[in-house]
């Protein structure tokens, strides 16, 4: 899927324009997302939000933008996020 195609899907889901540049900024980590935008990206890519948030399996720790480090095992419980996503998709 191209950035333009993803932008078009997001526009349909969110009701606002998503340019190729906006998609690129998200991919590069140069733009933060709202929870609604994260859910829409997951829907557009036919995946779950947690798969967009988790690092690859071989990664054991993640460096935060403020310089801190988090062990991946400390942030792998996404059961609440999964339930929210299920609630959102069942309403749509």
10-39 pLDDT, tens digit each: 999 999 999 999 999 999 989 989 999 999
Domain count, the chain: 1
pTM: 0.69
Q: Which domain holds residue 81?
A: 3-91
CATH classification at residue 84? 1.10.260
pLDDT of 86 above 90: no
Q: Measure Cα distances from 47 to 27, 42, 43, 59, 84 in Å.
A: 16, 5, 6, 20, 14
């Amino acid at each position: 899927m191209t950035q333009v195609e993803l932008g078009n899907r997001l526009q349909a889901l969110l009701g606002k324009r998503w340019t190729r540049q906006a998609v690129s900024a998200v991919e590069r980590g140069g733009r933060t997302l709202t929870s609604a935008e994260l859910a829409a990206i997951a829907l557009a890519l036919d995946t779950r939000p947690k798969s967009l948030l988790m690092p690859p399996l071989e990664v054991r720790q993640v460096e935060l933008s403020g310089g801190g480090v988090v062990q991946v095992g400390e942030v792998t419980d996404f059961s609440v996020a999964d339930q929210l996503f299920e609630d959102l998709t069942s309403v749509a």
